[in-house]
């Protein structure tokens, strides 16, 4: 099946610029909507896989995602173009806002607007998580194991505030062992090595 892909390095730069400029309060929700749902450069599964790598590597998640997606299509030139697209214009905008707002940033109305937009941007991230639940249905670990892993991760990070690295070691490693086991089982049932 032929999947859509960016036409050029320049197209990649502008695609990520446009994503980033729409991403008030974080870019992730827009990335998912544009790259997966509209442009279809990534399937939901690919998005989850790339996002997993982007998230566990140090650094800004969406910046890492831009590097990974850009590299996939055009190598290091694509990675740089996607990265530059993600950062250049938003940097100009945010510094312009900083200059414009220096002096009024402590007004109650401005503080209120920032707080309201902060709550919405938190919802955008959580909503993207809700959408991606559908991509877990075919996971080789099984629905029950996926649900248990997700619930434990949420409790550990959101409620107990355990540092991410411990959660990844404590839950990620057993999950990997289980997934590895299930992959071998699956291969044996198909009679292929």
Partner 1 sequence: MHDWGWSELVTLFSHFVSLSLLSIGGAITTVPEMHRFLVADYGWLTEDQFSSSIALAQAAPGPNVLFVAVLGWTVGMNAAGGPSATPQAWALASACVFVAMMGILLPSATLTYFASRWGQRNRKRPTVRAFKLAMAPIVVALLLATGWVLTAGHGSWVSHPGPYLLTLATALMVWRSRLHLLWLLAAGALAGVVGWV
Identified binder of partner 1 from the candidate list 5, 21, 39, 84, rule CB under 8 A = 21
Q: How far is the CB of 2 from partner 1 (least distance, A)?
A: 20
Q: How far is the CB of 20 from partner 1 (least distance, A)?
A: 5
Q: How far is the CB of 41 from partner 1 (least distance, A)?
A: 15
**Other residues' Cβ atoms within 10 Å of the Cβ of residue 54:** 22
DSSP for 76-137, please give it.
Answer: HHHHHHHHHHHHHHHHHHHHHHHHHHTTTTTSHHHHHHHHHHHHHHHHHHHHHHHHHGGGGT
Identified binder of partner 1 from the candidate list 12, 36, 54, 82, rule CB under 8 A = 54
Q: How far is the CB of 11 from partner 1 (least distance, A)?
A: 20
Going residue by residue from 122 to 161, which x/- string records binding to partner 1, judged by CB under 8 A? xxxxxxxxxxxx-xx--xxx---xxx-xxxxxx--xx--x
Residue with tokens 């446009």: 18
Query: For residue 193, what are the CA distances in angstroms to 98, 183, 185, 187?
Result: 58, 11, 10, 6
Residue nearer to partner 1 on the CB measure, 7 or 157: 157
Identified binder of partner 1 from the candidate list 7, 77, 120, 185, rule CB under 8 A = 120
Q: How far is the CB of 8 from partner 1 (least distance, A)?
A: 20
Check binding of 76 to partner 1 (CB under 8 A): yes
Check binding of 169 to partner 1 (CB under 8 A): no
Find the helix packing angle between 44-56 and 61-101, rounded to 10°: 70
Residue 192: what are its φ and ψ, rounded to 5°?
A: -110, 150
Residue numbers 84-113 binding partner 1 by CB under 8 A = 86-87, 89-91, 93-95, 97-99, 101-103, 105-106, 109, 111-113
**Other residues' Cβ atoms within 10 Å of the Cβ of residue 182:** 15
């Amino acid at each position: 099946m032929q999947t859509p892909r960016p036409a050029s390095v320049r197209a990649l730069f502008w695609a990520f610029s446009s994503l980033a400029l729409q991403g008030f309060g974080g870019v992730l929700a827009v990335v998912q909507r544009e790259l997966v749902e509209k442009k279809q450069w990534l399937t939901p599964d690919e998005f989850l896989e790339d996002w997993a790598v982007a998230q566990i590597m140090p650094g800004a998640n969406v910046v890492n995602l831009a590097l990974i997606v850009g590299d996939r299509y055009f190598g290091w030139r694509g990675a740089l173009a996607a990265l530059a697209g993600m950062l250049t214009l938003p940097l100009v905008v945010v510094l312009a806002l900083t200059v414009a707002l220096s002096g009024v940033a402590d007004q109650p109305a401005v503080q209120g607007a920032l707080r309201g937009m902060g709550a919405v941007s938190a919802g955008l991230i959580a909503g993207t998580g809700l959408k991606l639940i559908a991509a877990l249905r075919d996971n080789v670990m099984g629905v029950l194991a996926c649900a248990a892993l997700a619930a434990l991760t949420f409790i550990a990070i959101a409620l107990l505030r355990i540092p991410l690295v411990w959660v990844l070691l404590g839950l990620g490693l057993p999950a990997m062992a289980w997934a590895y086991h299930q992959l071998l089982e699956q291969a044996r049932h198909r009679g292929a090595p």
